[in-house]
Every structure is written in structure tokens, then in C-alpha cells.
Amino acid sequence: MRHMIYLRARAVPAALGQKRPSFPILISLSLSAALLLPACQNGANPAQVNRALASVNDIDNSNMADVMLTVGKPEEAVAYFQQAVATDPSNLTAQRGLGKSLMKAGRAAEAAAVWTQITARPDATDEDRVNFAEALIRGNDWARAAQVLAQIPPTYETFERYRLEAMVADSRKDWKKADSFYEIAAGLTQQPAPVLNNWGFSKLTRGEHAAAEKLFMQALTYDSTMFTAKNNLVLARAAQRKYDLPVVQMTQIERSQLYYTAGLAAVKQGDPSVGKQLLQQAIDTNPQYFEAAERSLAALGG
């Protein structure tokens, strides 16, 4: 038996025209050989060998699912998991992969339908319910998302859970809960910039402009490249009639775009002359033709 396994393992490169097999193939062969060799030596029956091989296949399928979700294109991942679910409708790993890939592809309604089936299973987890709630939120079904989150016990404390709880509280204008959940979520991740930006935007919509400015600045200390936070920061400052650009890292094109944001905000605040100056700075700063700023300035008679 040992000699047969050696021959099969060596036969693979020859069949491929002396090309080295890919890493996943090598892993699968080594795992299969490691399982089959003791089985032959110990006289294991075929059923035991089949069960061992099935466990190897489960590992391979799980690894492939991870690869498709992390490096595959969204639509390609959707097609892969749709085929996997069609082949084995009871495969929970494939169902979860389909739900996640549909969300990555921007197909929230379809993702919600998949998570509905997953969470109806007796082996569904609280993580599944969090993913379900996110799909519902992306589909703008806030009421149902709140119901799903309410089914999760308070002992399940993760960043994703509290991030969604904060968003739902925001949608209900329950500012006290929203602030509490945003604060918890920010403390549960090493990359809090996105949640701090969301929290700042929440404060901005409430009219708490100084608090919003502080949160956007804090977000940029964790991710200085986040343009959304930079743009929101300019809006928060402009709402306080602080039209000069903040001292943050920015490219020349970003500077031009931020001048444009500040200019429009100034006009909205009732300061058209300041707005015209800022729009002109946006045009002068941009290394390319800034059509939107040109149109806005022309509309103001500049």
C-alpha cells in the first residue's frame, strides 16, 4: 500500500506535463496520503476511510470558500456558491458563502432571502443573525433588522453587532443608545475609523457640529486616507462657518475637492461671496479641468 501511494503522488506531475501542482493540490494529496496510509496499515474498513476522506473534503471546501470571499470577484463568488448550494442544498458553509458574496455584490435583497433560510436552521449562530441584520439594513428594511438584532442575546458582544445596533438606533433617532453603541463598537476593533466616521455623521445630522468635527478628526488619526471623513470634516466646520481647510493630510486633487465642498457649504450657509472664492480656489488647485466647480461658479456669476 505504501508503494502504491508513492507512485500515485509521483504520477501527478507527469500527467500535468512535468508542471508543479498548485499548492491546494499538494495539501490535498498529503492529507489524503496521511489518512490512507495509517488506515491501510491498521486494517481499517472502507467506511472509516470514506469518513476520513469526507473530513478532508470538508476542509478543502471551507478553504475554497474563504478564498472566494476574500480574493474572488463578487459576481464570480456568487456563481461559485450558487453552484455549491445547488449541488448540496444542506451545505451550511456554501449557504453562508452565498449570503456573504451576494452582499459583497450589492444584491442585498437576495442576500436577505438566503440569510432567512440560514437563520431558520437549528444550527444557525448569532453571527448568522448579525449577517442577516446587515443584509436587511443594506436593503433599507430597518424594522426587520431591529427584530433580528433583538433575538441576539446581550452576551454576544462583537464589533459588527454593536455597529449595526448603533445604525438601527440612529434610524430611530434614539441618540442616547446610538452614542452608547457607537462607543462600544469603536472599542471592539483595532480599525475604528469607519465607525467613528459614521458616528460623526450621526452627530452632524443632529446639528451637533463641534462634536461631529471632533469625531471626524479622530477617525482620520486612525486612517489618514479616508476621504469621506475629510469631506465630512469640512462640512462640520463649514456648518460652524469655519471655511478654511483643516490641517490634515491630503493630495492636491483632494484639496481641490474639499475647497469645492467648502464653497458649496458656504453658499448654503448664506455666504455666497466666500463660496465664490472657495470655488475659484477649487478650480485653481485642481490639476485637471474641474467641470462641477466651473458650473457652480458660473451659476453664482463668477
Q: How confident is the model over 173-192, as pLDDT tens digits?
A: 999 999 999 999 999 999 99
Q: What tens digit of pLDDT does each residue of 188-207 get? A: 999 999 999 999 999 999 99
Q: What tens digit of pLDDT does each residue of 3-29 get? A: 444 334 434 444 444 444 443 433 343
CB-based contact 232:204 (threshold 8 Å): yes
Query: What DSSP character marks residue 98?
Result: H
Q: Which of 19, 35, 54 is the last residue of a domain?
A: 54
Q: What Å distances lie between residue 28 and 35, 113, 187, CA to CA?
A: 11, 34, 40
Does 287 score more than 50 pLDDT? yes
Q: What is the pLDDT of residue 1?
A: 43
Q: Which of 12, 39, 54 is the last residue of a domain?
A: 54
CB-based contact 294:283 (threshold 8 Å): yes
* In a domain? residue 100: no
Average pLDDT over residues 142-151: 97
Does 140 score more than 70 pLDDT? yes
Q: What is the pLDDT of residue 219?
A: 98
Domain range holding 5? 1-54
* In a domain? residue 69: no
Average pLDDT over residues 60-67: 65
* In a domain? residue 300: yes
| Contacts of residue 107, Cβ cutoff 8 Å, sequence gap at least 6 | 78
* In a domain? residue 168: no
Q: What is the pLDDT of residue 301?
A: 85
Average pLDDT, the chain: 84
* In a domain? residue 124: no
Q: Is residue 171 very low, low, confident or very high in pLDDT (cuts 50, 70, 90)? A: very high
* In a domain? residue 286: yes
Domain count, the chain: 2
* In a domain? residue 143: no
Q: What is the pLDDT of residue 39?
A: 42
* In a domain? residue 111: no
Q: What is the pLDDT of residue 247?
A: 94
Cell 433583538 belongs to residue: 150
Q: What is the pLDDT of residue 63?
A: 72
Which pTM does this prediction carry?
0.74
Residues 140, 266: Cα–Cα separation, whole Å = 32
Residues 68, 60: Cα–Cα separation, whole Å = 12
